[in-house]
Amino acid sequence: MMNNMIMHPGILLILCGVIIPLLGDNLKKFITFIVPAICFIIILQLPHGMHLNYEYMSYNLIFLRVDELSKIFALVFIIMIIFSSIFSLNQKNKIEISTAFIYGGSAISAVLSGDFISLFIFWEIMAISSTLIIWMGSKNAYKSGLRYLTVHLFGGVILLIGIIGYMSLKESADFTLIDKTNIYAYFILIGVLINAGAPPFSGWISDSYPSASWSGTVFLSAFTTKTAVYFLIRGYPGTELLIYIGIFMIFYGIVYAILENDMRRILSYSIINQVGFMITGIGIGTEIALNGAASHAFAHIIYKALLLMSAGSVFYITGKTKCTDLGGLYKTMPITMVCGIIGALSISAFPFTSGFITKSMISQSAVYENYTIIWFLLLAASAGVFLHAGIKFPWFVFFQKDAKLKAKDPPKNMQFAMISLSIICILIGIFPNVLYQMLPYDVNYIPYTFDHVFFQLQLLLFSGLAFFLMLKYLKRTLTLTLEFDWFWRKFSKILIKDFDIHAEKTATNVINKYIKIFDKAIKTLYKHHGPSGILGRTWPTGNMAFWTTVILASYLIIYLL
């Protein structure tokens, strides 16, 4: 039943984001600390069930649907906001934190929504607020932000078409397991997959996230793709197509990250790769697979934030993001290095880190469902993750050659945020049950067996060996790698240019033709009405008297007849 006494944590955060710019510096810092903490407590204590229901045009809007699945996502979102706000306290741009609150708040609200209408509203607020965060970044941010917004508005329109069709078909706005026997379900799926960074729309992640400021990227990494993952877990579990999309994303992320030079772009590609693991799990769709996808999203948000904080600290201190400019920072930024390595080990699913206990559930589900090839591909991908994110990121940023950069560890608050997240990564790795208890289904899975740990260690360490033996082939170059967005960033330009040339020719021809006709008309008019034209001449009075007499005479004759 209705229980309007419950505070909505997401909306509280959005409202805070709106008022923050109006506040003085000290009050602002206080609110940045206290409100996410309050929201954290509210989320922890949310009672299961549907709350804050409203009737709207015969549809039932549910602003708070609390169950294990929505709660675990809301919880990790708020943890992310707490530590990222602490990390970003030194950000000179005062508006960024306010938009970040609106962005994070709407992500929390979206995962807590129980119906399509309110979910869609928060979905779109996310798109707009995240664009604003991108725009507060570097000089190139304006253009990539615009591309980001275009992709998301496009995805939003497709989602809206699907939602409207689906709602009118089912005569209800309730968002539960989606019935895939109608076309609208696929519109919704495409709209959501665009937000998840699935091909051919994966380019927006690596294009826009690295354009944001050193703190903005941290906020951006968590919400958009993981809200999409949440949507898929709830709406599309067991859709086989998702397995193949997921596998594609996994390898796409690895290959592009191997070729990439900019450290924040490497990490952006690894977001696509990690979301690929989750989507594969959703495609497999059994209880253990969905548990794996949800827990992997939880672990991923935390270690990805940690990795991007470590990269953000390097950017904040040195002002550089390209691997070709970086290196040798282990001496000057030891704390950032250690935290970065913990994040890198977690993403690689090293034993005793958070990735190990979550990703293995997805692989195990492939075993249970007899997806042999998928299992081997996931295994190859685990090796590949260690290669592109686990070693490549720390090696090129903190070791390799000494770039002789003047650097020191970042301010205390940034260190605090990184160290806290590192501790969370390790704690989850050592005490998996803390996370397992929060999952949507009961877990009968034991990650720590001798053979599993040894298996993983062999796999990862020999991947490391491959990395160091082939180091000369991995040398960084000042390049970027084309991807699908080439079609709208370059090809469309060529197309328009070509079209321009032809259009100009055609237009000139057509215009010339009409100008000729017009000219002719003017000339004819001039001929008859001009100074020497027959109709333009001044005629003698006698002439007129003559013609008047003729007319009068003919009139008289006709009358007499």
Name which of 264, 215, 267 is nearest 87 in CA terms: 215
Cross-strand pairs, 60 = 55
Of these, 259, 335, 338, 426, which contacts other proteins (CB under 8 A)? 259
Report the nearest approach of other proteins to the CB of residue 374 (Å): 11
Asked whether 433 and 285 are in contact (CB, 8 A), the reply is no
Does 466 bind other proteins (CB under 8 A)? Our answer is yes
Asked whether position 254 contacts other proteins by CB under 8 A, the answer is yes
Which of 145, 111, 331, 347 lies closest to 226 in space, CA to CA?
111
In the region spanning residues 305 to 334, those forming contacts with other proteins, defined by CB under 8 A, are: 328
- H/E element, 285: none
Sites for other proteins among residues 395-454 (CB under 8 A)? 399, 401-402, 450-451, 454
Q: Is the dihedral of CA 377, 382, 385, 391 positive or negative?
A: negative
465 in contact with other proteins (CB under 8 A): yes
**x/- string (CB under 8 A) for other proteins, residues 375-404?**
xx--xx--xx--x-----------x-xx--
Write the CA distances from 130 to 100, 107, 273, 383, integer angstroms. 7, 11, 21, 32
Report, in Å, the least distance between residue 345 CB and other proteins.
14
- The pair phi, psi for residue 262, each rounded to 5°, is -80, 125
479, 512, 532, 538: which one contacts other proteins (CB under 8 A)? 479
Nearer CB in complex with other proteins: 473/539: 473
**Residues near 172 by beta carbon (within 8 Å), at least 6 away in sequence:** 59, 60
**Closer residue to other proteins, CB minimum distance, 404 or 406:** 404
Determine contact, residues 365/294, Cβ cutoff 8 Å.
no
| Closest distance of CB 60 from other proteins, Å | 46
**Concatenated DSSP letters for 373-401?**
HHHHHHHHHHHHHIIIIIIHHHHHHHSSS
Residue 404 three-state SS? coil
Measured from the CB atom, is 208 or 456 closer to other proteins? 456
Are residues 249 and 296 in contact, defined by beta-carbon separation less than 8 angstroms?
no
Taking the least distance from each CB to other proteins, the nearer of 280 and 456 is 456
492 makes contact with other proteins (CB under 8 A): no
CB of 21 to other proteins, least distance (A): 33
Binding mask 330-369 for other proteins (x = CB under 8 A): -------------------------------------x--
Nearest-approach distance from CB 259 to other proteins, in angstroms = 5
> Can you tell me the distance from the alpha carbon of 130 to that of 134, in angstroms, rounded to the nearest whole number?
6
Chain-centroid distance of CA 518 in Å reads: 55
Residue 478 contacts other proteins per CB under 8 A:
yes
Chain residues binding other proteins by CB under 8 A are 254-255, 258-259, 261, 328, 367, 372, 375-376, 379-380, 383-384, 387, 399, 401-402, 450-451, 454-468, 470, 473-474, 477-483, 489-490
